[in-house]
Structure 1
Amino acid sequence: MPQPVLDLTASSIDITRALCDIPSESGHEGQIADAVEAAVRQAEHLEVIRDGDTVIARTHLGRDQRVVLAGHLDTVPIAGNVPSHVETIDDREYLWGRGSVDMKAGVAVQLKLAVELSAPLVDVTWIWYDHEEVAAELNSLGRIARTRPELLAGDFAILGEPTSAQVEGGCNGSLRVELRAFGTRAHSGRAWVGENAIHKLAPALAVLADYQPKTIDVDGLAYREGLNAVGITGGIAGNVIPDEGMIHVNYRFAPDKTVDEALEHVRDLFPDMEITVVDRAESARPGLDAPLAQQFLAAVGGQAKPKYGWTDVARFSALGVPAVNYGPGDPLKAHTDDERCATDEIRACETGLRHWLLGE
């Protein structure tokens, strides 16, 4: 297959389409990373660094402050929604295709501005990275934070996650655990000989069903939490009393607590269950009190909102870099079979970022 070529002189909408038409499911980002690297290397004002399937481009203009703008290149699996196309619904134009919302439209805007803006008011580090849509330990930003943290350094960071072109501060954290109950295996015809582990899961399921998630104010933004069963397993055959049962639980917690505090809350709710941590990701406070954040919010307009889903703003927050989410696309359309991004939001994000970076 010939290597795709990205024309970054095209409109941000056309660049989005080109990106969507390059399959890049998590673990298969090499081709799109090659295309991005080749395109940004043509800009003489950028230093370009390749780290695995992550591409980093930086200005070195001697500015007093540096901002980081980042976006992930990978998508969830394609579901018959590639190649992309443009369609109008109720007089509003949408770009359809896997990744159009999460988050190739945001990446397209960043790529266009990266090559066009040779003299922004701040130095800029642009990062396009791999393995965001999978377990946190595979995320390349995490790898770079461990091995080359200087590449993530900055005074403020913006993630191009879908926010319908509105600023969303911080993010909820995410904790996934497995709750296990144990019993004694027996023939189901003589069930009284055994002890049914699946039945022992009932109290935990009742706790989950009755749980009332909190809405917690953090620095003026209201973060809604959630605690839910997302999977359940148990049993080996239709005539065997199961000796083990498991509930997979996901806790989305507000940025008023650490992931360790979130785990302690889960342990308090299920004191009699064996708990195994599957995945953990820290939350991030809003980051809107930083002067650069205030300037950015004023430049793009609107009122900041909380980010309910986890994003990589948490990685920057952990490094002491205040970070927000800002990108085109309705997050409710992320990962859906009819994933589509309103083209006016792509234009709005490009305009907002351009004005802010140039001080217009």
Structure 2
Amino acid sequence: MASPTPYAPVGFAVLTGVNGNVRRVADTLHLAADPVELTAALVDTPSVSGDEALIADLVERSLKEQTALEVTRSGNAVLARTNLGRPSRVVLAGHLDTVPINDNLPSRLEDGVLHGCGTVDMKGGDAVMLHLAATVTDPRHDLTFVFYDCEEVEAVRNGLGRIERELPEWLDGDLAIVCEPSNGTIEAGCQGTMRVDVRTEGVRAHTARGWMGVNAIHAIGDALRRLEAYEPRQVEIDGCLYREGLQAVKIGGGVAGNVVPDEAVLTVNHRFAPDRTPEQAEQHLREVFAGYEVTVTDSSPGALPGLAAPTTRELVEAAGGTPVAKLGWTDVARFAALGMPAVNFGPGDPTLAHTRQENVPVNQIHQCVEVLRRFLSHDTTRH
């Protein structure tokens, strides 16, 4: 086994701060370089949500060196696009932020695998996008590249929302590819998600005289039995199988060790197939928990796979293999809400996201580059 070493691309200074953290900084990235080197350089530029200015500056400077691209900035999001008059436009999107570092910087290359915070979620995908922005010189479609901030925190801070409000024309297209980790497989659409509070009310009393009260925690028991007996739906859409789910994720109640509780709250998360609207999902939950007070606390629509759209079919053909359903929620739903088909496609195993063990095989980064190059470019021979 090779000894772990930082993967240091040529031209990057390795700096050690007073706290021992390692950063690589550069005036620009060499976007035509090996995308694995780009991934390592991005990983070694820490960008925890809310602190993306350094990496956004780096990406902006690098993209501005590509004279064929129009580049603009929105907060700590960087956007670039071609304006070649092609009959269709493809939007490629990736977030620049990561979850907090967990003693997994700097990056290291070991036995063909790149390790480090963000290698999976999702600086490998960002590197793929940056490399294509520099090397696809004769695209079949006009291209838009969106590198945005604050995806890993609450939805109201997500940079895509700000871009939609302030620069909506930059999100127009015939297909959106969100380069989130998908193990190099096209994941079509995504599930919707909804959280509800199922609440019971009772009457307080001293536990020594429990018959004088009504125990709200006892009353939640039937809701739990309904969940235990629930059989989730499976739905096939465009050949992709979506599995719904209904899970209790939190339960609360109680006043004191000698008081019959007068309130209990059961929090339930529903993952629903994209053929349901949020309104239909809410109605379904109210039927499941009929007789209880149900309050929606969070809701995001899903996204249909859109595999019948001509541009999506071209991508599927370039990728080979069979698309699968995205079992989870991603920002493809934001693009679907704008009226365009959207898929997830990027390097890395999504089950490693947010873990200390994040790593991505370098061959998967190269694979994603070549698939997208075949799809995007007239000249598929250039490497």
Which TM-score applies when normalising by structure 1? Answer: 0.92
Give per-residue Cα distances to partners, 1:145-183, cap 9 Å, x unaligned. 234321100111111011111111111111112222222
| 1:340–1:237 Cα change, 3 Å | farther
Tell me which moved more, 320-329 or 5-14. Answer: 5-14
Secondary structure at the counterpart of residue 344 of structure 1:
helix
Q: Which residue of 2 aligns with 1:81?
A: 104
Number of aligned residue pairs: give it.
356
**2:53, 2:198 → 1: CA distance?**
37
Contact 1:3 1:31 in 2 (8 A): no
Q: Which residue of 2 aligns with 1:275?
A: 294
Q: Which residue of 2 aligns with 1:35?
A: 58
**2:231, 2:207 → 1: CA distance?**
36
Q: Which residue of 1 aligns with 2:163?
A: 144
| 1:209–1:335 Cα change, 3 Å | farther
| 1:255–1:188 Cα change, 3 Å | same
Unaligned regions of 5+ residues in structure 2, if any? 1-16, 18-22
Letter in 1 for 2:101: I
TM-aligned CA deviation for residue 189 of structure 1: 4.2
**2:260, 2:117 → 1: CA distance?**
43
Q: Rg: which structure is higher? A: 2
Q: Which residue of 2 aligns with 1:322?
A: 341
Letter in 2 for 1:20: V
Give per-residue Cα distances to partners, 1:190-248, cap 9 Å, x unaligned. 43443322222211112222211111011221111111112222224434333222222
**1:296, 1:121 → 2: CA distance?**
12
Q: Is 1:26 the equivalent of 2:49?
A: yes
Tell me which moved more, 205-214 or 322-331. Answer: 205-214
Q: Which residue of 2 aligns with 1:14?
A: 37
Letter in 2 for 1:54: A
| 1:286–1:188 Cα change, 3 Å | same
| 1:146–1:268 Cα change, 3 Å | farther
Sequence identity (%): 50
**1:136, 1:281 → 2: CA distance?**
10
Secondary structure at the counterpart of residue 27 of structure 1:
coil
| 1:94–1:191 Cα change, 3 Å | farther
Which TM-score applies when normalising by structure 2? Answer: 0.87
Letter in 1 for 2:131: K
Q: Which residue of 2 aligns with 1:102?
A: 121
TM-aligned CA deviation for residue 289 of structure 1: 0.9
> 127, 140, 154: which one pairs with 2:173?
154
Contact 1:136 1:281 in 2 (8 A): no
**1:237, 1:21 → 2: CA distance?**
50
Letter in 1 for 2:284: H
Aligned-CA RMSD value: 2.0
Q: Which residue of 1 aligns with 2:253?
A: 234
After TM superposition, list the pairs within 5 Å mapping 1:174-185 onto structure 2: 174-185=193-204
Contact 2:24 2:44 in 1 (8 A): no
Q: Is 1:164 the equivalent of 2:187?
A: no
| 1:273–1:122 Cα change, 3 Å | same
**2:350, 2:24 → 1: CA distance?**
30
